Amino acid sequence: MALVLAATTPGEPEIFASLQGEGASAGKPCAFIRLSRCNLACVWCDTAYTWRFTGDNRPHRDSIDFDRKANQVTLSEDEAAARIIALDQPRLVITGGEPLLQGTALACMAALLPGMQIEIETNGSVAPAPVLDALIHQYNVSPKLAHSGNSAELALPPERLAAWAADPRAWFKFVISAPEDLDEVLALQAAYVIPAQRIMLMPEGRTSENLRQRERWLADICSSHGFSLSDRLHIHLYGDTRGT
């Protein structure tokens, strides 16, 4: 068994140290590992190089496809864990793509990282393998709303949303493009009884200018409903780049 990772450059796996840019752990120093492949296709995805390979015609606003060989790297769990340990960080963020598609291999890797706090970034549509779930300290669950271009049937399976809502380790992070997106968030909150203190709203955007424009009105929405506002710190610090 092995892990299929995204690449920063051809042949170089996307494993790096940085500050967490989003969600409940924003600002914390972390190691990151970015996996390849995703079961969803968000039209505004900023990591389309993890899934929109040549021949994949799922829509994306950039209409760019990527060479699979140049953008995927396969590593053993042992090698991935060794690279993470070498970064000497207290916390690991497993991101993607959709990491939970590789749950069993991730569990093998995570078992080699005793003492490390591990969080997973997921679109929320895939159940974690039980052997992996036992090793995870935090889930950053980002259910995809209608503006993502994904059907609700694929993106919002009720059994998964109910399970995440019942898991105190799960923080809900909704990507917001326009004020009317709030209606979907409120409907999901009511349907699954998600505590407001575990809901974060994050502006969609890949530039500081776009993020700041949306945050001006998103801040008021968060204040009105008891939600937290999540920025995208890495965009302000490094731009829309890989390995950051």
Quick: pLDDT tens for 32-86: 999 999 999 999 999 999 999 999 999 999 999 999 999 999 999 999 999 999 9
Rounded CA separation 199/124 (Å): 14
Q: What is the mean pLDDT of residues 161-184?
A: 98
Rounded CA separation 130/175 (Å): 27
> Which of 224, 177, 169, 240 has its CA nearest to residue 203?
177
Residues 6+ apart with CB under 8 A from 138: 24, 25, 117, 118, 119, 120, 169, 170, 171
CB 46 within 8 A of CB 61: no
Rounded CA separation 20/34 (Å): 13
Amino acid at 233: L
Roughly what angle, to the nearest 10 degrees, separates helices 182-192 and 208-225? 40
**According to the model, what pLDDT value does residue 94 have?**
98
CB 243 within 8 A of CB 14: yes
84 dihedral zone (left: phi>0; alpha: psi -120 to 50; beta): alpha
Q: In what order do the strands lie in the sheet containing 170-176?
A: 15-19, 29-34, 91-95, 117-122, 138-141, 170-176, 199-203, 228-229
Quick: pLDDT tens for 137-161: 999 999 999 999 999 999 999 999 9
CB 145 within 8 A of CB 173: no
Q: How many other β-carbons are positioned within 10 Å of the β-carbon of residue 211?
A: 19
Quick: pLDDT tens for 113-122: 999 999 999 9
Is the pLDDT assigned to residue 1 strictly greater than 90?
no
CB 23 within 8 A of CB 83: no
Secondary element (H or E) of residue 72: strand 72-75
| Residue-range domains of the chain with CATH | 3-171 (3.20.20)
**According to the model, what pLDDT value does residue 130 have?**
98
Burial bucket for residue 226 (CB in 10 Å: 0-12, 13-18, 19+): exposed
Look up residue 75 and give its two tokens. 């590593």
